[in-house]
Amino acid sequence: MRAAAQGMIDTVRQIHPEPGDADPAQAYAYPPGRTWLRANMITTLDGAAWHDNRSGALGGAADHRLFALLRGLADAVIVGAGTVRTEGYGPVRPGPGWAGLRAGRPAVPRLAIVTRQIHLDLESPLFTAAGEPPILLTSPQAPAARLRAARRCAEVIVAADLATAIAELASAHPRLLCEGGPGVLAQVAAAGLLDELCLTVSPMLTAGDGGRILDGPALPAPARMRLGHVLIEDEFLFLRYTTTKEQL
């Protein structure tokens, strides 16, 4: 796996739990033999999850390499329809070293879009140029005409709630990566589905109205997580937290 993350390896360092060189592909390997849902989010030093309405504005080359690596490790990437529209999502394309990471699996992970009403451009390259069609996680309240149109260009999972939809998704794609946005991640956390949070701390200050990485009602009780590792590259901190003792 080491060659698969070559873009990061020359400069990334681990500072916790043991200082030294790091192999990101190994550090972020999924636990074998089970469903595992990790989220990958970014925040500024002052806690903003976006700037100018885009989380992508907070990243840099180091963050982009980790973003690609986490996608390469995943079976499916979960993202909200609002994030798809705001960030200008297109089809998932293979990244550097993915052939080694994905041996025995499809060339790219499936994109699973959370969308209650299917307010998406079904004629965009996201649907027409994808090697594998996206999967739409939608609700029984989705308009019938939109459902019919969506089924012509995507796989559709209709479920009463997000937990049920993700359970069906995970039956064929157990290594899950959630890229947000904050509303979707808040639902994932509230449902008790989050196994791991990969949090990039960007060396930026923005102030303004950039909200938090979770945007939803308060959880019944704070969800305590355990620090797995801290990596550093180009002044970006890469924190990995888990909700269980596994993999620590």
Domains of the chain: 35-44+60-96+104-242 (3.40.430.10)
In which band, very low, low, confident or very high, does the pLDDT at 2 lie, cut at 50, 70 and 90? very low
Q: pLDDT over 70 for what percent of the chain?
A: 91
Give the DSSP H/E element, type plus range, for residue 196: strand 196-202
Lookup: tokens for 197: 């949070």
pLDDT > 70? residue 5: no
- Write down the residue that tokens 């796989």 correspond to: 155
In which band, very low, low, confident or very high, does the pLDDT at 40 lie, cut at 50, 70 and 90? very high
Residue-wise pLDDT tens digits, 233-246:
988 999 999 986 44
| Per-residue H/E/C for 121-171 | CCCCHHHHCCCCCCEEEECCCCCHHHHHHHHCCCEEEECCCHHHHHHHHHH
In the chain, which ranges are continuous DSSP H helix?
6-9, 24-27, 61-73, 81-87, 98-101, 125-128, 144-151, 162-172, 182-190
pTM, to two decimals = 0.90
Query: Across residues 93-97, what is the average pLDDT?
Result: 89
Query: Alpha carbon of 113 to those of 28, 126, 185, 208: distances in Å?
Result: 23, 11, 13, 28
Mean pLDDT computed over every residue of the chain: 89
Residue-wise pLDDT tens digits, 112-169:
999 999 999 999 999 999 989 999 999 999 999 999 999 999 999 999 999 999 999 9
Q: pLDDT over 90 for what percent of the chain?
A: 67
